Structure 1
Amino acid sequence: MAERDPERIKKDIDQARQQLASTVDILAERANPRQLADRAKARAVEFVTQPVVMASLAGVGGLLVILAIRRIRNR
């Protein structure tokens, strides 16, 4: 194996350490529970605000209201 300059080895180690620290920071940000919750909430809001989903939810809500009224009347 070729002899390597100790200074070059030191620079390589420092560079690898910086890259590893950057990667760890990125992973920590992605795995942050607050970030995960915010992303999930944004996806849910985006899904629910689609016209097709809103119409479906309105239909289900209306059906539940009708069933509740019928149940109250039949007591």
Structure 2
Amino acid sequence: MARDTDSIERDIESARNQLAGTLDELALRANPKRVVENTKQTLIAKLNQPAVKYGLIAAGTVIGLLVVRKVLR
């Protein structure tokens, strides 16, 4: 059964609107400032986890002691 022209035009307009919305969302997500901000927030959240935080403190302490030991020799 053939579809009428108005129905086809409505479908095309709907698809066009969906595509425009998708492109707007992609442009928003790919904005470099937004990507940097999201990455920064993710990194801060990861570093604030106790296992990571204390592991970095321990590694920094060991490296600091090794440097002091090397300087005093």
Question: What's the TM-score once normalised by structure 1's chain length?
Answer: 0.82
Equivalenced residue count is 73
Shift of 1:6: 1.8
Task: Give the partner amino acid of 1:22.
Answer: G
Unaligned runs of 5+ in 1: none
Unaligned runs of 5+ in 2: none
SS at match of 1:46: helix
User: Where do residues 1-75 of structure 1 align in structure 2 (5 Å cutoff)?
Assistant: 2-74=1-73
Task: Give the partner amino acid of 1:67.
Answer: L
Deviations 1:23-67 (A, max 9, x none): 111122222222222221111111111111111111111111111
Task: Give the partner amino acid of 2:2.
Answer: E
- Structure 1: 4+ residue segments shifted above 4 A: none
Question: What's the TM-score once normalised by structure 2's chain length?
Answer: 0.84
